[in-house]
Structure 1
Amino acid sequence: MPDPLKYNKNFDKLSYEEKQLLEETKKSIADFVEQSPSISDVNYATRNAHAKTYAVLSGHFIIDPHLPQDLKYLFDKEKYEVIARLSNANLKIKKNKKDIPAYGFSIKIKDDTGRTISNYPLVNFPLFPANSVSVFLKMFTNINKFYAKKWGNWISFAKNIWKVIPSLMTFSFIKHSIALFLKRNDFILSFDYHSVGVYRLDDKMMKIKISPKDIQKKFGTRKEVRSSVKSYFASNDYETEVFIQLCYDLKDQPINKLNIEWKNSPFIKIGELRFEKNSFQNSISCDNELLSFNPFESAEIFQPVGKIQKLRDEAYKVSLQTRKKINKLLKYK
């Protein structure tokens, strides 16, 4: 393999128009979170994406002893503490209804002192539906306004949805959409989870995938997802392998084109995530809504890369600040 491409901050640069649209999106996020207790009929403020928490888990990230020599310097411990959050991508928490199988598996990796090293919001669908930052921001702003009952122009929203459609017509996107449909009833812990966006690995750039070991795909399928996860951890450990792909060529591994899979980049195992039985924590709690998995709250060498990723920084901060303001009041009411 050739040498991996080096990170360049130009991959992250937003245009003036994109920055202006981001400001409007941030306002819509704050409005949504402020109204989220009534939107989802819960007694706390939720996130404006992946609102439903199925479980919060505590476990460990075990470094692979056979890690390639040129990566070993990045991990000075054999084991790191991990906090994980299982979630659903919907903005609104549905009750007594079957959720769409769009799941999240967010990971917070900490050192021995409890300091966060890196955050990785992973999802069970490896691709992103939009490459244009402007189109995505306009669409997401309109969605937030709709839920917050500040619905404006239907025509504008329809136009933005229409502009996303071409990004959904790639071979990769269609293939994974069909695969997700066929696995729609599978147990949440049986899926692979992906970073979708790109991250730094010091001066290199990577994507991340975790794959479970020895898991029953149909475990607890007749139960609600939260109940099935709780039931699983009552008597089972959970292990998942952690792989990365490195960027060698922008043609085969594009940074800002997230609707196609990377190719010609082998998966490299860097370790395993291990969660022992009884690691399930109370998922319905204001404290868990104060947890942040903002990937920009990571060490510099593990920061996100790319324009779509850049949007997450401000969006996560606004969402967390608004949740903190509301949930701290609710917690001590």
Structure 2
Amino acid sequence: MPYTTKYNKKFDELADEERLLLDDAKKSIADFVENSSTISDVNYATRDAHAKTYAVLKGEFIINKDISDILKDFFDKERYDLTIRLSNAHLKIKKGKKDIPAYGFSVKIKDENDTLLANYPLVNFPLFPVNSVSTFLKLFTSLNRFFIKKWSNLLPLTVQLLKVIPSLFTFSFLKNTIQFISRKNDFILSLDYHSVGAYRLGEHMIKIKLSPKSVKKSFGKNMNPKEAVENYFASYEYVSEVFVQFCYNLKDQPVNKLNVEWKNSPFIKIGEVRIEKNSILDPLDCNNELLSFNPFESKPIFQPVGRIQKLRNEAYKVSLQTRQKINKLLHG
């Protein structure tokens, strides 16, 4: 394997102005979660992104026997236990309407001692439209406030959305947008899932991709995603290949430029995700709704890399703490 670019904490550093904006964003997250039961018309506090849960499942991560020594240093067991959450990216839980086809496949990896190794929130669109930390924080804060205050915050939200438009016009982003639209009606389990941004693999940096095997894109065509997932696992198992790309140089594999694909870095298969049929956990169990997939709860050698990624840590913490406080009160 060629020499890789090594992780450096400088990839994650935020400026003072960005930290102030992050504080403002955290306040908007707490406000959103506190109002989320009203926003989504449910009897519990929701997440401030990927609010709708389609299913929580138990699975396995089976490691390839012939992986390279570099990968064996991190995945030295034959199998690992997984908890998986399938979700929709919308901030609001929509009832009785067609969901936007933006899905989450969040994975919690544990060893045989039930010790958490890594959380990986994966999505079916591989890129992110914003590279600027300041622009993203202002947009996210405006979006949260729009859902709380509605039309009184429409103008600030519109201004921030206009600032994002120039970063959408990369070849990678346009290509993936076309592919996304062409697959908008495909079954949620037939789609590829990706890490948005890079993650550490010790001192290396990687991106992750899940690619399903033998799942028909037309399955559950006349069902909503939740019904389709439940029907699928009543009869079938799910198998997805797990690939990683390594960062060899920042020109071809940029860590802090999330609106372009990595190039000149082959996908290397490291194993498979397997979910047996009838593996869906109780959807009424409050503990499943309280699950956290914060990637910064992972062991340090598996944590996210990058400035936009760095924001997730504080955002996840605020969201989880607020949800736990409210939901534990609601459910005694």
The alignment's TM-score, normalised by the length of structure 1, stands at 0.97
Match of 1:116 in 2: 116
1:217 and 1:154 map into 2 onto residues whose CA distance is 37
Q: Give per-residue Cα distances to partners, 1:174-205, cap 9 Å, x unaligned.
A: 11111111111100000000001110000000
Aligned 8 A contact 1:62 1:80 in 2: yes
2:134 and 2:57 map into 1 onto residues whose CA distance is 35
Aligned AA (2:260): I
Match of 1:259 in 2: 259
1:187 partnered with 2:179 = no
Q: Give per-residue Cα distances to partners, 1:202-251, cap 9 Å, x unaligned.
A: 00000000000011110001011101100000010000000000000101
SS of 2:330's partner is helix
Deviation at 1:103, TM superposition (A): 0.3
1:160 and 1:227 map into 2 onto residues whose CA distance is 36
Match of 1:90 in 2: 90
Match of 1:246 in 2: 246
Aligned 8 A contact 2:198 2:205 in 1: yes
2:281 and 2:227 map into 1 onto residues whose CA distance is 12
Match of 1:128 in 2: 128
Aligned AA (2:39): I
Aligned 8 A contact 1:131 1:259 in 2: yes
4+ residue runs over 3 A deviation: 150-156
Deviation at 1:286, TM superposition (A): 2.7
Aligned 8 A contact 2:67 2:270 in 1: yes
Match of 1:30 in 2: 30
Q: CA RMSD in A?
A: 1.1
Aligned AA (1:255): V
SS of 2:104's partner is strand
Q: Give per-residue Cα distances to partners, 1:13-72, cap 9 Å, x unaligned.
A: 000000000000000000000111110011111000000000001011011111112221
2:285 and 2:72 map into 1 onto residues whose CA distance is 38
Q: Give per-residue Cα distances to partners, 1:51-97, cap 9 Å, x unaligned.
A: 00000010110111111122211112111000000000000000000
Match of 2:63 in 1: 63
1:223 partnered with 2:255 = no
Instruction: Select between 300-309 and 146-155 the one with higher mean Cα deviation.
Output: 146-155
Identity of aligned residues (%): 65
Q: Give per-residue Cα distances to partners, 1:74-125, cap 9 Å, x unaligned.
A: 1121110000000000000000000010000000000112111000000000
Aligned 8 A contact 1:128 1:196 in 2: yes
1:13 partnered with 2:13 = yes
2:14 and 2:259 map into 1 onto residues whose CA distance is 19
Aligned 8 A contact 2:45 2:323 in 1: yes
1:75 and 1:139 map into 2 onto residues whose CA distance is 38
- Alpha-carbon spacing, 1:230–1:154, altered in 2? closer, same or farther (3 Å): closer
Match of 2:78 in 1: 78
Match of 1:52 in 2: 52
Aligned 8 A contact 2:83 2:107 in 1: yes
Match of 2:269 in 1: 269
- Alpha-carbon spacing, 1:151–1:319, altered in 2? closer, same or farther (3 Å): farther
Structure 1 gap segments, 5+ residues each:
none
1:251 and 1:208 map into 2 onto residues whose CA distance is 19
Aligned 8 A contact 2:146 2:157 in 1: no
Aligned 8 A contact 2:145 2:153 in 1: no
The alignment's TM-score, normalised by the length of structure 2, stands at 0.98
Structure 2 gap segments, 5+ residues each:
none
Q: Give per-residue Cα distances to partners, 1:266-292, cap 9 Å, x unaligned.
A: 001111000000001233543222100
Aligned 8 A contact 1:53 1:284 in 2: no
1:283 and 1:130 map into 2 onto residues whose CA distance is 34
- Alpha-carbon spacing, 1:116–1:210, altered in 2? closer, same or farther (3 Å): same
Match of 1:168 in 2: 168
Aligned 8 A contact 1:167 1:259 in 2: yes
SS of 1:74's partner is coil
1:248 and 1:35 map into 2 onto residues whose CA distance is 44
